[in-house]
Amino acid sequence: MLSVQEISDRLEIQQVLAEYSHAVDQQEWDLLDDVFAADAVLDYRATGVEAADVASLKSFLAGVMPHLTPYYHLTGTTRIFIDGDRADTRTLCLNPLGAGGHGSLIGNWYVDRWARTAAGWRIAERRYEPCFDFSLAGGGR
């Protein structure tokens, strides 16, 4: 049976994952500071991006996301393993997006290592792991 603390931790982690999607989809880049630890290590190399920290990820997203409309992030199916002030998660993300009249439905996993901070749970490490990329006719509108 889950303890009240573990239920609370799980809900907070799920909320932070939702905040990530909101920040990217609304292009509110500074909200990512409430998702990632200040010294987070990010591995998005599978996308061709060398974003190794939060500042470089924010810069990359701000430059590319406006060109990929329409888009959104739908996360779900999160496995959560909590061990004290650390946690590991694996979250499925579906990401339909358009670009230049064509679109894709991208599926990926976010493989995250978390740290409990004074401000709450934050992602300390993230690895982007691709699942699939389906082309859509007509840009997905």
pLDDT, tens digit (0-9, with 9 covering 90-100), for 8-65: 999 999 999 999 999 999 999 999 999 999 999 999 899 888 778 999 999 988 998 8
Domain count, the chain: 1
Q: Where does 26-95 have alpha helices with state H? A: 54-64
pLDDT at res. 67: 80
Does residue 91 surpass a pLDDT of 90?
yes
Q: How confident is the model at residue 127 (pLDDT cuts 50, 70, 90)?
A: very high
Q: Cα separations (Å) of 88 from 16, 48, 81, 110?
A: 13, 24, 5, 10
131: domain CATH number is 3.10.450.50
Per the CB < 8 A criterion, the answer to whether 114 and 86 are in contact is yes
Helix (H, G, I), strand (E, B) or coil at 136: strand
Residue 48 sits in which domain range?
4-140
Give the pLDDT score at 141.
Answer: 42
Please give the model's pTM, rounded to 2 decimal places. Answer: 0.90
Number of H helices, E strands in the chain: 2, 5
